[in-house]
Amino acid sequence: MATERESPELVDSAVEAGERRLQRLTGGHVVTAFIGGLAVSFGVLAMAWTAGPWGVVLTYEQAHLVGALAFPIGFVILVVGKGELFTENFLLPVSGVMARRGSVGALLGLWGTTLAANLAGALLFAMLVTVPGVLADGARAFLIELGEQIVASSTTSLFLKGVFAGWLMTVLTWLLLAVRATGARLFVIWMIGFFLAAGHFNHVVVSAAELFMAMRLGADVTVAQWWWRSFLPAVTGNLIGGVVFVTMLAWLQAHSLRAR
């Protein structure tokens, strides 16, 4: 019974945090989102540096799985460093709007500015890290293969992978509301980050960071392919996964528990 009573309390916390977030569309918010794009790019870099040397003895998929163990470094930097991702703005601000603590217009403004700043951070990171001499040959080869693998996938599969990415990231927000101990929070961050990378899920900012690096390194990927094959399926899928499968269900669960 104690576990059942936690859901309404978490939704109340989400509403309060969401209201604050909807009211702070300032220059500081843009900088925070820009930092978020830089932070997750470190995760892509950590994955490439870890997987790269294994590319000569393992298959691409096996090397990718090894690299996925290091990917959550970016999420640790993101959460501990107080950065912000587009997908973090599903549970909290949507809850604020549902509770009539903010407007839909403010929500759309928050989404738009966060995503734009995230992508700007990922692009700057890609421009810096792909300067000749920065990356080892193995990491470069891994990133090129990673980018080409992404755009070779079907639009349907990238959309569904986007749904799962948004779902996972919003679950992460929910779990971090519930967990207070530092060790437990770090484990939750690592768990979700590893699953996101290992499953090749299509997170709009993470995939952009991967493709920006791959394109800069000479991968057979165009900006149009990123936009149509990755970005648009990721945005729509992330929104459905985060808002429908986590936020709405959390509200239904909390409402049903309060009605008892």
**CA dihedral in degrees (224, 228, 230, 234; nearest 10)?**
140
Q: Which ranges constitute the DSSP H helices of the chain? A: 6-22, 27-51, 60-68, 73-80, 91-98, 104-129, 137-152, 155-178, 182-198, 204-216, 223-225, 232-239, 249-258
Judged against a pLDDT cut of 60, whether residue 1 lies above it is answered with no
Q: What is the pLDDT of residue 163?
A: 98
Query: Residues 113-132: what's their mean pLDDT?
Result: 98
At 217, which amino acid appears? L
- Contact between residue 122 and residue 213 where contact means Cβ atoms under 8 Å apart: no
Q: What is the pLDDT of residue 8?
A: 86
Query: Residues 166-193: what's their mean pLDDT?
Result: 96
Query: Residues 139-166: what's their mean pLDDT?
Result: 98
Nearest to 142 by CA among 40, 57, 38, 47: 47
Q: Structural domains in the chain?
A: 6-149+156-258 (1.20.1080.10)
Judged against a pLDDT cut of 90, whether residue 4 lies above it is answered with no
Judged against a pLDDT cut of 50, whether residue 3 lies above it is answered with no
Which percentage of the chain shows pLDDT scores above 90? 90
Query: Residues 56-66: what's their mean pLDDT?
Result: 96
pLDDT in tens, 222-241: 999 999 999 999 999 999 99
CA separation for the pair 185, 244 (Å, rounded)? 24
Q: What is the pLDDT of residue 26?
A: 79
Query: Residues 122-145: what's their mean pLDDT?
Result: 98
81, 100, 108, 189, 238 from 103: Cα distances, Å: 28, 7, 9, 30, 21
Q: What is the pLDDT of residue 130?
A: 98
CA separation for the pair 63, 141 (Å, rounded)? 12
- Contact between residue 239 and residue 74 where contact means Cβ atoms under 8 Å apart: no
Q: What is the pLDDT of residue 260?
A: 63
